[in-house]
């Protein structure tokens, strides 16, 4: 989509969100290499960097670090932020729009399940739904914030 927008002079910006566990997949890095080769400054990748994936801690399953250095070596502008701070998120998107000649990655440092006491930092919540009582507790806790 980003390449097509460039070729057609559409001026469209493309946003892509990846989990950190996804970054263990080869096709991600093929796309990253392609993005910088074609100078896709209309592409902004956001990485949800909670350091957890379905099988556990990203570091233990297969480390992706140092993530900032990897993306820099692939030709990206790298912005690292607190992914829970809306002001920082908006600033990062604004900065990404000013980058010319290369794609941008926003590495958003996050906490899986943030704000829900029994879900925070637990990979076991990666792919399961809460029971009704758990759901009600989670909504109550999130409403206090
Ligand atoms: Mg993750």
For the stretch 23-81, pLDDT in tens is 999 999 999 999 999 999 999 999 999 999 999 999 999 999 999 999 999 999 999 99
Token pair of 89 as six digits: 């998120």
Domains of the chain: 2-110 (3.40.50.970), 115-145 (no CATH)
Residues 6+ apart with CB under 8 A from 104: 41, 43, 44, 45, 76, 77, 78, 79, 95, 96
- Please report, for the chain, how many H helices and E strands are present, in that order: 6, 6
Q: Is the pTM of this model over 0.85?
A: yes
Among 52, 24, 47, CA closest to 105: 47
Give me ligand 1 centre to Cα 10, in Å: 33
Give me ligand 1 centre to Cα 131, in Å: 22
Give me ligand 1 centre to Cα 60, in Å: 13
Among 92, 96, 56, CA closest to 76: 96
Taking only the tens place, the pLDDT of each residue in 90-129 is 999 999 999 999 999 999 999 999 999 999 999 999 989 9
Tell me the average pLDDT across 126-142: 95
pLDDT of residue 145: 62
Give me ligand 1 centre to Cα 7, in Å: 33
Q: Which residues have their alpha-adjacent CB atom under 5 A from ion ligand 1?
A: 19-21, 50, 52
Decide if 75 contacts 7 (C-beta within 8 A). no
Decide if 81 contacts 108 (C-beta within 8 A). yes
Give me ligand 1 centre to Cα 119, in Å: 14
What's the mean pLDDT when you consider all of the chain?
Answer: 97
Give me ligand 1 centre to Cα 26, in Å: 17
Give me ligand 1 centre to Cα 136, in Å: 24
């Amino acid at each position: 989509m980003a390449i097509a927008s460039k070729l057609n002079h559409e001026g469209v910006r493309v946003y892509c969100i990846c989990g950190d566990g996804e970054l263990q997949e080869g096709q991600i890095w093929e796309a990253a290499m392609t993005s910088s080769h074609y100078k896709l400054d209309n592409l902004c990748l956001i990485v949800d960097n909670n350091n957890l994936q379905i099988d556990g801690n990203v570091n233990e399953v297969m480390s992706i670090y140092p993530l900032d250095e990897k993306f820099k070596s692939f030709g990206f502008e790298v912005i690292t932020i607190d992914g829970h701070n809306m002001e920082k998120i908006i600033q990062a998107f604004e900065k990404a729009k000013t980058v010319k000649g290369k794609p941008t990655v926003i590495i958003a440092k996050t906490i899986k399940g943030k704000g829900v006491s029994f879900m925070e930092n637990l990979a076991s919540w990666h792919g399961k739904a809460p029971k009704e009582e758990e759901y009600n507790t989670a909504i109550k806790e999130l409403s206090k914030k």
